[in-house]
Structure 1
Amino acid sequence: MAAINQASTFLSSSSSFSSSSSSSSSHRYIATASIHFPKIQTNTTLSAFIPKTQSNLSLVEDIQLSRIPPKKQHKNNSNVSPDPQLIMEKLYAILEAVSDRVEMHKNVGEQRSNWNSLLLTSINTITLSAATMAAIASTVPGAPLNKVLMLSSSFLYLAATGMLIIMNKIQPSQLAEEQRNAARLFKQLENEIKTNIAARGNFTMNDVNEAMKKVLALDRAYPLPLLGVMLEKFPAKVEPAVWWPDQRQRITAKQQAADDNYKNGWSVELEEEMREIIRVLEVKDKDDYLRLGEKALKLNKALAIAGPLLTGLGAIGSTLLSCSPHSSTWGMVLGVMGGAMASVVNTVQHGGQVGMVFEMYRSNAGFFKMMQESIDSNLKEKDMGRRENGQVFEMKVALQLGRSLSELRDTVAASSSKNGKDIQEFGSKLF
C-alpha cells in the first residue's frame, strides 16, 4: 500500500514537472518570437496582411512634393495666371516708390538751388576782397603791410579760382533744374498710376512692368548722385532729354482694317492730322529749342572758361605788385581789373543761371520728341482696338500743345499746304 502511494506521488510530481517544463518552454518561445521576427512566406493566406506599396509610394511622393522649393513649384505652374491681388500689391509698391522719388528730387533740387546762390555769393565776395587788397597794396608800395596784402590777395584769388572751377564743373543751377523736372515728371507718373487704379478694375503683369520701366527710365534720365553718373554739363552735341522707355511698335497678327471699318475713335482724317502734327513738331518746335540750346551751351562754355581765367590773372597780378615799377603797374591792372571782371562774369553765368536755361531748352526739345514718338507709336499699331482712343488722344495732344481742338485742326490745315521749312507757325503755344 505504501509502495502504491509512493508511486502515485512520483507520477504526480513527474506530471507536474513536465507541465511546468512545457509551460516554461512555451514562455521562452514566445519571448524569442517577440525579439526575432520570423520571415513570412508570401502566399495566399498571408497576402492579406502585407501592406499595399502603391499607397506608400503616393504618400512618399506627396511628402517629396511638399519639400520642393517654391521656385521649382513655380516652374511647374508657369501657365497659371498671377493673382490679381498680388498685381495690385505690386502696383501700390511702385506707387509708394514714385511718391518717395517726388520728395527726394524736390528736396535735392532745393538743396542744389541753395548751392548756386551760396557759392556765387561766396566766390564774388572772395574775388572782390582780393581785388580790394591788391588795390590797397598798390597804393603804398613801401609800406610794411604791402607784402601781407599782396600774399592775402594772391591766396584769395587762388581760392576763388579753385572754387569757381568746381562750380563751373557741376553747374548747380542746371542740377537744380534737372531735379525740378524730375520731381514734376515723377509727380505726373504718380497721378497717372492713381488715375489708372481708380478708373480700371483689372490689371496684368504688363501694366506692372510698364510702370517699372517708366520709373527706371526717369532714374536714368535724372540721377540723384553727382559722382560717376552726373549728366554731362558741356556735351559735344545738344540732344533732347529722354526720360521715357522705348515706345516700340507692339506686335500683332491683325492687319489694318478697311477705311470704313476704323474704330476706337480713329479715322483716316485723324491719322493724317497726327502725321502733320509730327512734321510740324519736328520742323519748328524741336529744332528751334535745339538751336537755342546750342546757343546757351556755347555761352555757358565761354563764361565757364572766362571766370577762372580772370581770377587766375588776378592772382598773377597780385604777385607782380612787389616787382619793378613797370611790373607793379601791370600787376595793379591785373589784380584789380581781373577781380572786377571775374565778378561780373560769375554773376552773368550763375546769377543768370545759364546752365538752367540750357537744361530747360534741352528738356523742352525732349518733350516734343516724346510727343512725336507717342503719336508715331499709335499710328504704327495696326490693331485699332489696341490703340489709345482716337478722340481722347487728340484731346491730350491739343492740351499738351496748349491749344483747343479747333485751333489744333486749324494749325494742321495751315501747315498742310506748306512744305518743309516753309511752315510759319509753331505747333506749341505752351512753351
Structure 2
Amino acid sequence: MATLKSTSLLNSSMLCSSSSRQKRIVRAAINIPQRVTGISLPEFRTNRLDELELHDSNGKRRSPIISIDMESKRFGNNGADPLVMAKIYAILEAVADRVEMHNNIGDQRAHWNSLLLNSINAITLVAAMMAGIAAISAGAPAVALKLSSTALYVAATGMLSIVNKIQPSQLAEEQRNASRLFKQLQNQIQTMICVGNPTAVDVKELMEKVLALDKAYPLPLLGVMLEKFPETVEPAVWWPTDQRKSQSKGMGWKKDFNCWNEKLEEDMREIVKVMRVKDREDYLTLANKALKLNKILASTAPVLTGLAALGSAFVGSPTHGGCAVMLAILGGALATVVNAFEHGGQVGMVFEMYRSNAGFFKLMEESIESNLAEEDLERRENGELFEMKVCLQLGRSMSELRDLATASSIKGSEIDEFASKLF
C-alpha cells in the first residue's frame, strides 16, 4: 500500500510539471555502467502499475539490479570500506567459533578432572583392600590378591603421573579464561561495527589480539601445552605487545583538552602504583604459594602409590610380611587423601586463577601507561571515558578512584588499600 501511495505521488508531481503531455508515460532511468563488478543486492520489484524501470545509457531496458563495486565504492562519509567490513565480519565469525571451542573443551577437561580423580581413588582403595585381605589369606587366593593389588597400584602410579603432569583442573580454568576473553573480544568487535568506522588498522589489531589469545591459551595438549610447574611465576599475558609510540610532540597543556588534565594524569599514575605494589604483587605471592603446594602434592601421590605397590608385592613374606602389609595399606590410604586434596581441591585451578588475576592488573597498567606515554592529546582515548572504564574494571565509583589516588600520593607504598574491589 505504501508503495502505491509513493508511486502515485511521484506520477502526480511529474504530470503536473508537464501538463501539455498529460498522457505520456513517465519513466525514471538510472544509468548503470556496462561492466559491473562486486556484490549484487537482491532484485527490487514494484507493482505492475506505475513500475519504476531501470535503463542503460542507450535506452534499453535492464534488469532492476543495483551493484556495488567493492574496490571503488564506499557507503558515504560515515561508512566503512566494504572490504574492511568483510574482514571484520570474518574475524567476528572466527572469534565466535573459538568461544564455542573453548567452552566445549573446558567442559570436557573439567569432566576429566572429576572422572580421573574418582577412578584413581577407587583403584587405590581397592588395591589397599586386596593387600589387606591377602595378608590374612593363604595359598593361591593370597597370591592372586597380592598380584592384583600390585598391578592396581602400578596402574594408579602411572595414571597419577600423567594426571599430575597435565593438571586437568588447571586446563579447564585456562579454557574458561579463554572463553571469557574471546567473548570480551567478540563484544568489542560488535561495538566497533555498531558505533565505529573500522579501518585496515583495526583489522590488523584485531588479528593480533586473536593470535595473542590463541598463543596464551592453546587448545592442544601435546607440544604447546602451558608449563604447569614453571620455575618462576609470571602474570598471564593474552594481549599483543603494544607497539604504539608517541608520533608527535605534545601540544602544550590545554585545560580539559580531550577531557585530559594534569589532575587526571596524576590520578592515573597513582592508580598504576597501587595496582603494581598491592594487587599484582599480592596475586603473584598467592600464585607462588599455590604452585609450591601443587608441586609437593603432585610428587607425593605417585611416590606413595609406588611404595604401596612395592609393599603389596612383599605381602606374605616370612621376613618383611608385617611391614609390607602396613606399607601397602597405609601408602594406599595416604595416596588417596593426597590425590583427593590436590585434584578435588583443584589446586592447579587456583594457581591459574591467581596467575590470570595478576595478568589482569598487568594489562591495566600497560593500558594506562600507554595512554599517558602518548604526548599528543588528540591521539589518546577520551580522558573521561578512559577514567570511567578504569572505574568499572576496578569496581569503584569515580569519587572512590580519586580518593584512592589521593591516599596513594600521601602514603606511597605503605597504603593498605587495594586498587580492585572486585577480587
Report the TM-score when normalising by structure 2.
Answer: 0.80
Query: Equivalences for 1:205-216 in 2 at 5 Å?
Result: 205-216=200-211
Query: Equivalences for 1:191-270 in 2 at 5 Å?
Result: 191-200=187-196, 202-253=197-248, 255-270=249-264
Runs of 4+ that moved beyond 6 A: 80-83
Aligned residue identity for 1:308: P
Deviation of the 1:257 alpha carbon: 2.7
Contact 1:289 1:362 in 2 (8 A): yes
Residue matched to 1:35: none
Residue matched to 1:311: 305
- Quick one: distance in 1 between partners of 2:215 and 2:110? 21
Query: Equivalences for 1:414-429 in 2 at 5 Å?
Result: 414-420=407-413, 422-429=414-421
Contact 2:167 2:228 in 1 (8 A): yes
Structure 1 residue 430 corresponds to structure 2 residue 416: no
* 3-state SS of 2:154 partner: helix
Tell me the percent identity. 62
- Compared CA separation, residues 378 and 81, structure 1 to 2 (3 A): farther
Aligned residue identity for 1:338: G
Residue matched to 1:144: 140
Contact 2:192 2:198 in 1 (8 A): no
- Quick one: distance in 2 between partners of 1:231 and 1:225? 10
Residue matched to 1:176: 172
- Quick one: distance in 2 between partners of 1:204 and 1:402? 32
Contact 2:235 2:359 in 1 (8 A): yes
Residue matched to 1:15: none
Residue matched to 1:157: 153
* 3-state SS of 2:320 partner: helix
Contact 2:305 2:331 in 1 (8 A): yes
Residue matched to 2:390: 397
Match of 1:283 among 277, 287, 296: 277
Q: Deviations over 1:160-210 (max 9, x none)?
A: 00000000000000000000000000000000000111011x221100000
Deviation of the 1:415 alpha carbon: 1.6
Structure 1 residue 351 corresponds to structure 2 residue 344: yes
Report the TM-score when normalising by structure 1.
Answer: 0.79
Aligned residue identity for 1:147: V
Residue matched to 1:68: none
Query: Equivalences for 1:92-171 in 2 at 5 Å?
Result: 92-140=89-137, 142-171=138-167
User: Which segment is superposed worse, 302-311 or 409-418?
Assistant: 409-418
Deviation of the 1:350 alpha carbon: 0.2
Structure 1 residue 370 corresponds to structure 2 residue 363: yes
Q: Deviations over 1:52-110 (max 9, x none)?
A: xxxxxxxxxxxxxxxxxxxxxxxxxxxx9998000000000000000000000000000
Gaps of 5+ in 1: 1-79
Contact 1:173 1:355 in 2 (8 A): yes
User: Which segment is superposed worse, 315-324 or 337-346?
Assistant: 315-324
- Quick one: distance in 2 between partners of 1:412 and 1:322? 72
Aligned residue identity for 1:206: V
- Quick one: distance in 2 between partners of 1:318 and 1:136? 11
Match of 1:91 among 88, 93, 96: 88
- Quick one: distance in 1 between partners of 2:358 and 2:372? 21
Q: Which structure dedicates a bigger proportion of its chain to helix?
A: 1
Deviation of the 1:383 alpha carbon: 1.0
- Quick one: distance in 1 between partners of 2:107 and 2:345? 17
* 3-state SS of 2:340 partner: helix
Contact 1:262 1:384 in 2 (8 A): no
Aligned residue identity for 2:100: E
Q: Deviations over 1:113-152 (max 9, x none)?
A: 0000000000000000000000101122x33311000000
Contact 2:246 2:376 in 1 (8 A): no
- Quick one: distance in 2 between partners of 1:251 and 1:187? 31
Contact 1:296 1:358 in 2 (8 A): yes
- Quick one: distance in 2 between partners of 1:312 and 1:279? 49
Deviation of the 1:321 alpha carbon: 0.8
Gaps of 5+ in 2: 1-71, 75-79
CA RMSD of aligned residues (A): 1.5
Contact 1:248 1:377 in 2 (8 A): no
- Quick one: distance in 2 between partners of 1:155 and 1:414? 64
User: Which segment is superposed worse, 259-268 or 298-307?
Assistant: 259-268
Contact 2:304 2:335 in 1 (8 A): yes
Q: Deviations over 1:368-402 (max 9, x none)?
A: 00000000000001111111110011011011011
